[in-house]
Structure 1
Amino acid sequence: MDENQTEANVTGVAVDMELSEAWKWFLIVVLVVLIIMGTLGNFLTIYVIARHKELQTVTNAFIFNLAVTDLLVSVFVDGFNVVGIADTGFFFRSPAVCEFVGTVCVTSCICSIMTMMLIAINRYFYVTDKPRHDRLFTTPRLVAIIIALWLYSFSLFDLPLLVGWARHW
């Protein structure tokens, strides 16, 4: 078996991965460019909303949260994907890292999707019933909604894994 090939046994299923050196480098370069763009874009979104009081609106709180979820994916998940491509056996030798990356990925992705849903609900009430929107989306409720969103996103998939009720594979 050459250095670009990894064989591992995951719950009785043999996994055989082989990447050509050129394909490996192409994927790494593409991912690094996406990591830089995603990290910069999401960081700037977070910075601008946090820095300018007039941008701290209900909708932008959801946009801020969406940028945080995307930043976690850009930095942690995509960063470890580069490591996994460079060293195809890395995650098989480092199951704790694999679990951590999976936890960050799933939590962030669920939170991202749910945040987009909340943006749609928020916009619906803003357009159809502005007084009700203003009653529903107060600052304390907004903070509680975002905290509940993260707790829900974590507990939906990741909590059973961490307490041993389930396995990724």
Structure 2
Amino acid sequence: MLGINCSRTALFTTNATVFNAMGCPEAAVVCGMNITWVLANSTAQDADDMCLSEKEYLAMFLGPPRSPEFLPVCVTYLTIFMLGALGNSLTCLVILRHRVMQTRTNYYLLSLAVSDLLVLLLGMPLELYEMWQNYPYLLGEGGCYFRIFLFETVCFASILNVTALSVERYVAVVHPLKVKHMTTRAHVKRVILMLWVVSMLCAVPNTSLHGIWVLPPKFGRQFPRSAMCHVIKPIWMYKLVILISTLAFFLLPMLIISILYLLIGLRLHRERMIIVVETGCSFGPESLSRSHEQKRSKRNLQVTKMLCVLVVVFGLCWAPFHVDRLMWSYMSEEHHHIFKHVHIVSGVLFYLSSAVNPILYNLMSSRFREMFSHVTCYSNSWSARSSLQLTQRSTLSEKMPNSI
């Protein structure tokens, strides 16, 4: 059988040659292409593309259907998933099961753990699915909207929880007399609920800009297998939304948090100096009072150190995520190879931030470390033996509003 000639010369010969079995239009007919359109509007590039298979055509414009980095990224993600799912589940369990752990500070940590679990249990599988099959996107518009809405909501909820947690620490340390009136448990629950509602509302704009995008028709053909979850509204709207969200939900909160912890550090340093001076000059009942103040200051310092480390790690892990979004919005085509590497690094750090918090609690909080061990390692007999101690500490912690 004679080969099919797809050159531009063969395409524009006389009618006898055009409809000859050796001409390219016959191949175009086989591929379902519109010959009239090709004859009237084709360019040299069109002639080169016309006889490509659908798979080759999609790969030329959209890249390979499976990400080349899928395997190493998948292994990394699954490792993070196991650590994060276990750690955050334990965090939720110890806070919900033990009244001694149900402090105002820990309610914010519980909300943050729920946000991290949503990312790991729902967000990570969706991203791995997209890396396994970049196109076509088989989950439809509903799946696309859900994915974007989920990521935006947990992004906003996480930073708002960390900010609210920092404000609570500031009030507890710098204005301790206002704690009983401003930060009751009911008040904290209302604040957390409001933060999640605000996060959901703020996730709507970016979600509404996305939808199912397909390659435009060419050669009279449709390309339904090119469907992707992508921005479908004008790109300037997406750029504006990303810029505002980066400023309002990362840079500004991190600035506020930094200032709050600076003020907390100055206050704790001042209290420590005063206690050192007055301890050496007091006797009797005053000495006992100073000892109590010293213990309270030490407890505040331990809690503040742990939360300060949490905030620093949070900022380091989330900064590449926002850089990734800004780069995608504003970069030019020639920098695409740089963006690919930034996207992988930002994704790993994004999910790592959802797994690292329980590790920090275990390393820096003796109470969390004890509770994690109590849930995972110790026998029922130890539990019965320690229940009295937990009850006693629970009663004591109710009188100490700054304890974690």
Band of TM-score, shorter chain: 0.7 to 0.9
Measure the CA separation in 2 of the matches of 1:87 and 1:55.
43
Counterpart amino acid of residue 80 in structure 2: L
For residue 17 of structure 1, the aligned residue among 51, 57, 63 is 63
For residues 15-48 of structure 1, the C-alpha deviation after alignment (integer angstroms, 9 at most, x for no partner) is 623333xx22111111111122211111111011
Q: Does 1:66 align with 2:112?
A: yes
| 1:89 match: secondary structure | coil
TM-score by length of 1: 0.82
Residue of structure 1 in register with 2:209 after alignment: 167
The TM-score, its normalising length taken from structure 2, stands at 0.36
Decide which of 128, 136, 157 is 1:82's aligned counterpart: 128
Matched residues in 2 for 1:62 and 1:103: separation? Answer: 22
The answer to whether the aligner puts 1:106 opposite 2:148 as a matched pair is no
Cα distance change of structure 1 residues 33 and 91 upon mapping to structure 2, 3 Å threshold: farther
3-state SS of 1:65 partner? helix
How many residues are aligned here? Answer: 157
Aligned to 2:289: none
Q: Which amino acid aligns with 1:135?
A: H
Is 1:145 equivalent to 2:187 in the alignment?
no
Amino acid at match of 1:151: V
Larger fraction in strand: 1
- Larger displacement relative to structure 2 (39-48 or 81-90): 81-90
Q: Distance in 2 between matches of 1:93 and 1:73?
A: 18
Change (3 A) 1:65 1:96: same
Which ranges of structure 1 fall in alignment gaps of 5 or more residues? 9-13
SS of the residue corresponding to residue 146 of structure 1 reads helix
Does residue 123 of structure 1 match 2:169?
Answer: yes
Letter of the 1:152 partner, please give it: V
Q: Which moved more, 1:117-126 or 1:97-106?
A: 97-106
Structure 1 residues 142 and 93: alpha-carbon distance in aligned structure 2, compared to 1, 3 A threshold: closer
Shift of 1:94: 2.7
Q: Which amino acid aligns with 1:83?
A: Y
**1:123 Cα deviation from its structure 2 partner:** 0.4
Hey, what's the Cα distance between the residues in 2 that align with 1:2 and 1:82?
Answer: 24
User: How many Å apart are 1:139 and its aligned residue?
Assistant: 1.8
Choose from 34, 41, 51 the match for 2:97.
51
Residue of structure 2 in register with 1:11 after alignment = none
Q: Does 1:26 align with 2:72?
A: yes
**Aligned-pair distance for 1:124?**
0.3
Shift in CA distance, 87/67, structure 1 to aligned 2, threshold 3 Å? same
Question: CA 1:129 to 1:105, structure 2 compared with 1: closer, same or farther past 3 Å?
Answer: same
How far residue 95 of structure 1 moved from its aligned partner, in angstroms, is 2.9
Give me the whole-angstrom Cα distance separating, in 2, the residues matched to 1:91 and 1:115: 33
Which residue does the alignment assign to 1:42? 88
Q: Is 2:105–2:165's contact at 8 Å kept on the other side of the alignment?
A: yes
Residues 55 and 26 of structure 1, relative CA distance in 2, 3 Å threshold: same
* Deviation for aligned residue 1:7: 4.3
Report percent identity of matched pairs. Answer: 25
Deviation at 1:2, TM superposition (A): 9.5
In structure 2, C-alpha distance between the alignment counterparts of 1:45 and 1:2, rounded to whole Å: 50
Q: Rate the CA distance shift 1:30–1:7 in 2: closer, same or farther, 3 A.
A: farther
Decide whether aligned partners of structure 1 residues 57 and 140 sit closer, same or farther in structure 2, where only a CA change above 3 A counts: same
AA at the equivalent of 1:71:
L
Measured in 2, the distance between the counterparts of 1:59 and 1:2 equals: 56
Which structure would you say has the larger Rg?
2
Q: Sort the Cα spacing of 1:84 and 1:152 in 2 relative to 1 into closer, same or farther, 3 A.
A: same
What's the CA shift for 1:149? 0.6
Q: CA RMSD in A?
A: 2.5
Structure 2 unaligned spans of 5+: 1-52, 211-230, 232-404
- SS in structure 2 of the partner of residue 91 of structure 1: coil
Contact residue 103 and residue 185 of structure 2 kept, 8 A = no
**1:33 and 1:2 mapped to 2: Cα distance?**
36
Instruction: Call closer, same or farther: CA 1:109–1:7 in 2, change over 3 Å.
Output: farther
What SS class does the counterpart of residue 63 from structure 2 fall into? strand
Matches of 2:81 and 2:190, distance apart in 1: 30
